[in-house]
Chains A and B, each alone.
Chain A
Amino acid sequence: MSESAREKMEFDVLIVGGGPSGLSAAIRLKQLAPSAQICLIEKASEIGAHIVSGAVLEPTALKELFSDWNSRGAPLETPVKKERIMYLLNDRKSIQIPIIDWMMPNMVNEGNYIISLGDFCRWLASEAEALGVEIYPGFAGSDLIIEDNQVMGVLIGDMGLDKDGKPGSNFTPGMELRAKYTIFSEGCRGSLSKKLISHYNLRKKSDPQTYGIGIKELWEIPSDLHFPGYMQHSFGWPLDDNTYGGSWLYHFGKNLVSFGFVLGLDYANPWLSPFGETQRVKMHPALKKHFKGGRRIAYGARALSEGGFQSIPKLSFPGGVLVGDAAGFLNMPKIKGTHTAMKSGMVAAEAIAEALNSAQIEPVNYQKRMQQSWVWEELYSVRNIRPSFAKFGAKLATVYTGIDSMLRGKVPWTFHHRQGDNTKLDPADMSQPVCYPKPDNKLTFDRESSVYLANIDHRDDQPIHLKLKNEAIWKTVNWDVFKSPESRYCPAAVYEVVNADVEPTLQINSQNCVHCKTCDIKDPTQNINWETPEGGSGPNYPGGM
């Protein structure tokens, strides 16, 4: 359809993505400029339905957003009571690492809450709507509208196209959403944020972003084994010393346990399967007992930004800003990005509220204000910890972390991320294949039955949203060199090699996709491009997730 034929709508501020950063921005904007017209779109079928997080919330930003958050019914029911860190020596033994406050300030969780971030977002959305923000779940920002080098808004995609891109019987054309300023709060590896970063060369002065993948399972366990407020992290086994990652396990809510595994996407062995590691680690005695008599009720996965301070891109451009994990404000040693995401959204809102009254095209004050905020200081102080793991391996890095943390990062050096995660794979024939245990369907599972618990809704007959830029490269690189790593790292079994013995071809089951963005990050030649499917497609993570 020609561009002029599209319907258009205009707002003062458009927000793309309804996670903690986007919703906090919306709320702050309405607090500062009550008459401004604010529109927020979210690709999930409802707010919270695409959110995957731990999540332990540090309530700093929340307190700044609503000093009376407590009386507003924020779903922060489980304060952290007890926490453990374990180093798993092998598949049976573990040692508990004492948590010493002054040595490990990043690991102290007193005053924090174990929450469902999805539910928290649903609550934020209800607060935002009460303030007059217009929230539209089920609509994905599919492309940028850039005119005269200024972002004018986004396109929401056509709905009801068939596989070949032709309009079906219930075809609904997409439309233009235009705004004076657009806030991109798409979270980690946002598809439009990615375009913006390249279009405006926002990474000119920063390191490449590095990432991790988090795979999460929500369990319901018997109440007599449930200790709300208990949290534990593990590192070590089953990963080798050169692979960054570990598990989390939080007891919260009504007999719920949030369990998951984070794996640095700078891993080298193409045979590795993040899903397999997630299943395997549960078999360790230090974890296994927490699942006794329980049942798994939800499953999901999501990438997270690990680059930290060094990888923060330029934050504004003509017509808009990047906030939250789309900009990479995650504190990796803490594995927390919600408080920083919220804060960045709020700061962006403050800068934009100011700019709305001026004729400013680029809200440049956002960058300055961020640099003066506690987010900057916090991320600066931990800047060397994650890269030290890549540099020294897990054991030595743990020691380094101790020293660096004691000094609160006040060291004269900064370790850099030289290259993107996609460059880190070793060839398959030089790597050790990994053998994962067979699922027992009680504690450990296969990917199909896991994806089942993500409640995916993806209309079958729609154009495929995962594309290979160059189809030939798959055979020569992905297969010949790495033996199809995507068929292992994708947590939803989207990529399958068929006919492996005779004429290997890649089968893309795009309907399984849980929108974690790992393939967009880790594909060796960045040949896989993730785009938003039809609005409302994808997982439907339930409450508690």
Chain B
Amino acid sequence: MTALVLLSYEENQIRSTSRSTIAAAKKFGEVHALLVGHNLSELSQKAAKLEGVTKVLVADHEAYAHMLAQPVTDLILSIAETYDYILVSANAEGKDILPRVAGLLDVQPITDVVEVVNENTFVRPIYAGSILATVKSSDNKKLLSIRGTAFEPVSDEGGQASIEALSKVAHSEKALAQFVSVEVTKSDRPELESARVIISGGRGMQSGANFAMLEKIADILDAAIGASRAAVDAGYVGNDYQVGQTGKIVAPQLYIAVGISGAIQHLAGMKDSKIIVAINKDPDAPIFKVADYGIIGDLFEILPQLENRLANR
């Protein structure tokens, strides 16, 4: 069986979520990677080194420059026949393209896969992640989008894939969509929903001014800052910091909860984080039940130590 993985990249870097997708694809057999875009020479070299990839297909043409759904779909359709599995990352790009391909192949796509049970059975979250469903596909071809956080990414070294240029540029004569521009959100801090690391403060912070302690650590870790509703209600920080049932739902690699008790409404927004750290002075605080690592103690002592330790790592 052979799987095709559509690579996702940003500024000449293959995204780690694509490496996770490859990890998932390896469970089905041989893995080919598809690199679509314009001016891809550097990227194709990088793609060839990806662990577990045996062949990299490169479609380099200005029509593909912005990964627009219609031309990329047409391209994938032109090579789909040889593949039993087509995988994309469950990010905006992958989610845009995969279903369009699926519809034209008459396949029901399986999105946001977090576990591969066997060759036709997969686990995916439903109801905003509160429930996990195990589904079995009877389609001949399986089209999957993969949640990056759920699979350990393969290494970006050690692979020796062959590179094959796709000569036939299969985009329709008339493009249905014209690229205008991209506004890259450049803020000093990553956004909550996309941050790799989040450090959140609760009512234990005692004041808005004390959030400066979190900011210093966030600067070191390139982290976003979040808050509990109690902290928002107390006016320490604005509404858009709130994580939880009625705030933002996040799943970073690392979530550090400082002075947050861990009420179920807060957990609903961050429980899918890969690693959770809790800092709280109350050993019975429910947050410790969901934390991978906990420190019991006064946050006003611990935070400066943590900042120090991280800065001098």
Contact = CB atoms under 8 A, between A and B. Distances in A.
Q: Do chains A and B touch in the complex (CB under 8 A)?
A: yes
Interface of A: 438, 446, 448-449, 452, 460-461, 498, 507, 509, 511
Lowest 4 A-B CB distances belong to which pairs?
Answer: A448-B263, A449-B264, A452-B264, A448-B264
A448 B260 CA distance: 13
B233 interface: yes
Given A448-B264, A448-B265, A452-B264, A498 B246 contact: no
B246 A452 contact: no
Contacts of A452: 245, 264-265
A509 B233 contact: yes
Contacts of B239: 460-461
Contacts of B233: 507, 509
B241 to A, nearest CB: 13
Interface in B222-269: 233-234, 239, 245-246, 263-265
Contacts of B301: none
Contact of B234 (A446, A449, A507, A511): A507
Given A452-B245, A460-B239, A498-B234, 13 more contacts: A446-B286, A448-B263, A448-B264, A448-B265, A449-B263, A452-B264, A452-B265, A460-B246, A461-B239, A498-B203, A507-B234, A509-B233, A511-B246
A449 to B, nearest CB: 5
B194 to A, nearest CB: 23
A498 B207 CA distance: 12
Contacts of B284: 438
A495 B83 CA distance: 60
Contacts of A449: 263-264
A507 B234 CA distance: 8
A370 to B, nearest CB: 44
A220 B249 CA distance: 29
Nearest to B261: A448
Interface in B278-297: 284, 286
A435 to B, nearest CB: 15
Interface in B153-201: none
Contacts of B286: 446
A223 to B, nearest CB: 23
A101 B245 CA distance: 50
A458 to B, nearest CB: 9
Nearest to A453: B264
A125 to B, nearest CB: 27
A446 B286 CA distance: 10
A511 B264 CA distance: 15
B216 to A, nearest CB: 25
A509 B231 CA distance: 12
Nearest to A461: B239
Contacts of B265: 448, 452
Contacts of A507: 233-234
12 contacts: A448-B263, A448-B264, A449-B263, A449-B264, A452-B264, A452-B265, A460-B239, A460-B246, A461-B239, A507-B234, A509-B233, A511-B246
Contacts of B245: 452
B200 to A, nearest CB: 17
A321 to B, nearest CB: 39
A498 B236 CA distance: 14
Nearest to A457: B246
A487 to B, nearest CB: 14
Contacts of A446: 286
A452 B263 CA distance: 9
A490 B225 CA distance: 32
A137 B231 CA distance: 33
Contacts of A460: 239, 246
Residue with the highest number of chain A CB atoms closer than 10 Å, among B203, B264, B286: B264
A484 B284 CA distance: 24
Nearest to A446: B286
A163 to B, nearest CB: 10
Nearest to B268: A452
A502 B286 CA distance: 26
A446 B263 CA distance: 9
B288 to A, nearest CB: 13
Nearest to B203: A498
Contacts of B264: 448-449, 452
A507 B245 CA distance: 20
Contacts of A448: 263-265
A528 to B, nearest CB: 18
A266 B166 CA distance: 82
A438 B282 CA distance: 14
A166 to B, nearest CB: 16
Contacts of B246: 460, 511
Nearest to A510: B233
A511 B232 CA distance: 13
Nearest to A450: B264
Contacts of A509: 233
Nearest to A447: B263
Name which of A438, A448, A449, A509 has the most chain B CB atoms within 10 A of its CB. Answer: A448
A102 B234 CA distance: 59
A241 B221 CA distance: 59
B270 to A, nearest CB: 15
A377 to B, nearest CB: 48
B227 to A, nearest CB: 14
A421 to B, nearest CB: 29
B265 to A, nearest CB: 6
Contacts of A511: 246
A378 B203 CA distance: 52
Contacts of B203: 498
A511 B246 CA distance: 11
A327 B239 CA distance: 42
A45 to B, nearest CB: 16
B290 to A, nearest CB: 12
Interface string B114-146: 000000000000000000000000000000000
A365 B180 CA distance: 74
Nearest to B232: A460
A438 B283 CA distance: 13
B208 to A, nearest CB: 14
A129 to B, nearest CB: 30
Interface string B294-305: 000000000000
B230 to A, nearest CB: 8
Contacts of A498: 203, 234
Nearest to A458: B246
Contacts of B263: 448-449
Contacts of A461: 239
Nearest to B266: A448
B167 to A, nearest CB: 52
A506 to B, nearest CB: 13
B210 to A, nearest CB: 14
B220 to A, nearest CB: 31
A482 B313 CA distance: 52
A460 B232 CA distance: 11
B203 to A, nearest CB: 7
A449 B265 CA distance: 8
A449 B203 CA distance: 18
A498 B235 CA distance: 13
A461 B232 CA distance: 12
A83 B139 CA distance: 55
